[in-house]
């Protein structure tokens, strides 16, 4: 008779074949590590039940989210099934791993408060903290500027301890779920909810909280790792090897699968079909007479929409093109003359981009440009506009913002791009020039000053932000 452990060892690889998974390279385990794996029948995992798109537990008690796909991949690489231990909150998951009712946490941050019961693997995803506020609130560069305000985060998150250490005077409330935190901001009981950009966007769509905005990205960030209970330390090095064995293609496929998903509300199917049948009957009476005209009108409408999009958006990245940027610059210039609102711009250039095209080819170079455009779109405010200025250059317009505030945002963008894992096996950096539009100035002079500051940054060694000096008085 086979033991349970031997049966699992036989069945688990067969399940992988039936799922048509591509062949995985064996992990380079030592003899002792392999012996430890051979003795395991399964790995018990706790997760955050409500932190989509990273982690979640659905109504059927299944693990969902970005981390669920990563752990399915790592489970195949290690060769051991991972079993979900259902909890009702992140705080309960932390308690379960402390009492050895879980072996691992799907993702965890290394903090001093957890080190007596938890170790972590090497990080595999980095995401900066962002702040969601009411639409009319100011853009937040640093919490120091509004530390007297009241903020909210989910209880037990590592970010709570990180921010309290960085800002001891910060008023930081804790709640049980992202929805509860966003609702406090929506009802005015808190100034801002702090989490990552993907989580805030996903949770707002999921719960119909559409009128809040992301008004700042902080220096602090989540370095997401797998949490390993100290009662089973042998798993740490094994998971490190599984993470190191994860290719960039596998990583990007998982992230794109979840970060491009739109939340859909439930549909009343009975009412839906009643409406459809009524509409079809009406269309059936009118279709013969109007179908030719309708077809031509639809074709013309589609062509006009495509032409309008092509005239204002960059074909490669989908962000604003130079034409739309010029339109917006003149709008801001006229608004300043009427309302005396300041605005600033930054021009950004990817450092040594020619080397990327030469070494990896133009197709990979295009993907790098697309990734940078995606990062910039996620980091700017709702009222800002980012566009492709040409080649590997980008321009960002920051309304109602001084040059010093824009420089702080530029520095956050520069650091985030430097830390991001791109499709190429090299660190990408950017140089940035910043200028503020001055009264009586022509918009081209403002652009020229930002461009000159950019070249100063290039000549000074790249990977830095330079503020354009004010022109000398006549």
Residues with catalytic annotation? 392
The three-class DSSP label of residue 216 is strand
To which H or E segment does residue 183 belong?
helix 178-186
Q: Is the dihedral of CA 137, 141, 143, 148 positive or negative?
A: negative
Please check whether residue 409 is in contact with residue 398, taking contact to mean a CB–CB distance below 8 angstroms.
yes
Place of tokens 């067969």: 14
Q: 289: left (phi > 0), else alpha (psi -120 to 50), else beta?
A: alpha
**d(C-alpha 400, C-alpha 459), whole Å:** 30
The three-class DSSP label of residue 474 is coil
Burial of 282 (0-12, 13-18, 19+ CB in 10 A): exposed
**d(C-alpha 253, C-alpha 246), whole Å:** 11
The three-class DSSP label of residue 225 is strand
**Pairing relation of β-strands 393-399 and 343-350?**
antiparallel
Query: How distant, in Å, are the alpha carbons of 46, 182, 183 from that of 95?
Result: 10, 25, 26
**d(C-alpha 12, C-alpha 239), whole Å:** 18
Place of tokens 């005209």: 293
Q: In degrees to the nearest 10, what's the CA dihedral of 253, 396, 419, 364?
A: 50
Place of tokens 């009118």: 286
Phi, psi (5° rounding) for residue 79?
90, 20
Place of tokens 């799907």: 106
- Report the Cα–Cα distance between both ends of the chain, in Å, rounded: 96
Query: How distant, in Å, are the alpha carbons of 138, 206, 252, 268, 337 from that of 241?
Result: 44, 35, 18, 47, 60
Give the DSSP letter of residue 383: T
């Amino acid at each position: 008779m086979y033991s349970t452990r031997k049966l699992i060892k036989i069945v688990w690889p067969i399940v992988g074949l039936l799922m048509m998974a591509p062949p995985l390279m064996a992990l380079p385990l030592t003899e002792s590590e392999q012996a430890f794996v051979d003795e395991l029948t399964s790995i018990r995992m706790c997760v955050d039940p409500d932190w989509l798109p990273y982690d979640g537990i659905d109504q059927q008690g299944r693990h969902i989210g970005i981390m669920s796909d990563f752990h399915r991949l790592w489970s195949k690489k290690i060769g051991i099934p991972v079993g979900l231990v259902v909890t009702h909150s992140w705080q309960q998951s932390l308690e379960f791993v402390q009492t050895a009712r879980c072996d691992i946490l799907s993702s965890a941050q290394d903090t001093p408060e957890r080190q007596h019961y938890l170790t972590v693997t090497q990080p595999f995803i980095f995401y900066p903290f962002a702040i969601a506020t009411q639409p009319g609130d100011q853009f937040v560069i640093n919490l120091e500027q509004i530390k007297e305000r009241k903020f909210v985060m989910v209880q037990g998150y590592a970010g709570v301890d990180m921010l309290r250490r960085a800002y001891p005077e910060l008023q930081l409330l804790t709640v049980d779920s992202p929805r509860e935190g966003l609702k406090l901001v929506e009802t005015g009981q808190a100034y801002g909810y702090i989490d990552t950009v993907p989580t805030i966007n996903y949770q707002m769509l999921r719960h119909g909280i559409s009128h809040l905005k992301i008004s700042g990205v902080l220096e602090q960030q989540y370095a997401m790792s797998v949490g390993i209970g100290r009662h089973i330390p042998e798993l740490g090095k094994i998971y490190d090897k599984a993470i190191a064995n994860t290719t960039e293609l596998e990583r990007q496929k998982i992230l794109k699968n979840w970060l491009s998903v739109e939340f859909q509300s439930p549909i009343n199917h009975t009412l839906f079909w009643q409406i459809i049948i009524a509409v079809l009957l009406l269309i059936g009476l009118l279709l013969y007479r109007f179908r030719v005209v309708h077809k031509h009108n639809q074709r013309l409408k589609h062509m006009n929409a495509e032409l309008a999009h092509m005239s204002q958006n960059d074909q490669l990245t989908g962000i604003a093109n130079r034409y739309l940027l010029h339109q917006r610059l003149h709008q801001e210039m006229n608004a300043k003359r009427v309302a005396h609102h300041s605005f600033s711009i930054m021009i950004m250039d990817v450092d040594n981009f020619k080397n990327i095209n030469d070494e990896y080819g133009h197709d990979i170079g295009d993907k790098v440009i697309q990734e940078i455009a995606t990062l910039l779109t996620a980091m700017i405010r709702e009222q800002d506009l980012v566009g492709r200025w040409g080649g590997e250059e980008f321009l960002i317009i920051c309304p109602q913002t001084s040059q010093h505030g824009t420089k702080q945002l530029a520095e956050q963008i520069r650091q985030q791009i430097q830390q991001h894992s791109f499709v190429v096996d090299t660190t990408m950096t950017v140089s940035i020039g910043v200028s503020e539009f001055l009264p009586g100035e022509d918009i081209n002079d403002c652009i020229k000053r930002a461009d000159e500051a950019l070249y100063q940054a290039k000549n000074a060694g790249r990977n830095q932000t330079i503020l354009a000096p004010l022109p000398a008085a006549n």
